[in-house]
Amino acid sequence: MGLPCVVPKGGRAIAGQFIEEGVIVSVPTYTLLRNADAFDNPTAYNPDLWMTGDKEKMAKAHFPFSTGPHACVGRNIAYFEQLLVISTLVRLFDFDCPDKSFELETLERFNSNPGELVPSCRRRRPPF
């Protein structure tokens, strides 16, 4: 389920189809992130895509905190927390997936959530 919106009075054309007023519509984040027009090979797990992909094209389809007047007010805090947590983990630990054939399961909810992932993790030795 995405962020639900009610079609305003008079109805609206959405993606080429007329939707009557009062109907609740939404676009799940999961679906947006599998748009082949915006992402090369959208069903493949490729974290490097965010570093090497067409950023302009991808930005038109990726709205993790929504947009406009109803956008998440906490998005800047969330981005900052992600930066702190991920950079600290990468700096202090080495990660590995014990099963090289592992494929991450995706659970569709309000946002797309990953299934269970049990990586091996070991603390890096201090550089001194």
CB 24 within 8 A of CB 4: yes
For residues 110-126, give the mean pLDDT.
80
22-75 pLDDT per residue, tens = 999 887 777 777 888 888 888 888 888 878 888 888 877 777 777 777 778 898
Amino acid at 32: L
CA pair distance 102, 117, nearest whole angstrom: 9
Residue 92, classed as helix, strand or coil, is helix
66-75 pLDDT per residue, tens = 777 777 889 8
Domain boundaries, the chain: 73-128
